[in-house]
Amino acid sequence: TLESTGEALLTLYRNSDFAGSPRIHRYLEVGETLTFGIPFSLYTDDASAITVTVDGSSFALSEDNKEQFRIFTKP
């Protein structure tokens, strides 16, 4: 699950290599929540505005409000 804690551009791909057309490419609104299955890859222009929850554990993509590319796959 991805939750926006601030306005942030999100580009999300339903694979782990940023290939093909993105499933989402838009600005998220504060409080917006999206749920996806793994694998996926994403780009955001403000990593501090995106909180990720996986198996009940939550974390911000970053403490810095910088752009970030991230890949999520099963271990």
Concatenate the DSSP letters of all residues of 3-69 into one string: EESS-EEEEEESSSS--SS-SEEEEEPTT-EE--PSSEEEEES-GGGEEEEETTEEEES-SS---EE
* Local confidence pLDDT in tens for the 75 residues of the chain: 999 999 999 999 999 999 899 999 999 999 999 998 889 999 999 999 999 998 889 999 999 999 999 999 987
pTM: 0.88
Distance of alpha carbon 37 from alpha carbon 35, whole angstroms = 7
The pLDDT of residue 74 is 82
Any bridge partners for residue 9, and if so which? Answer: 27
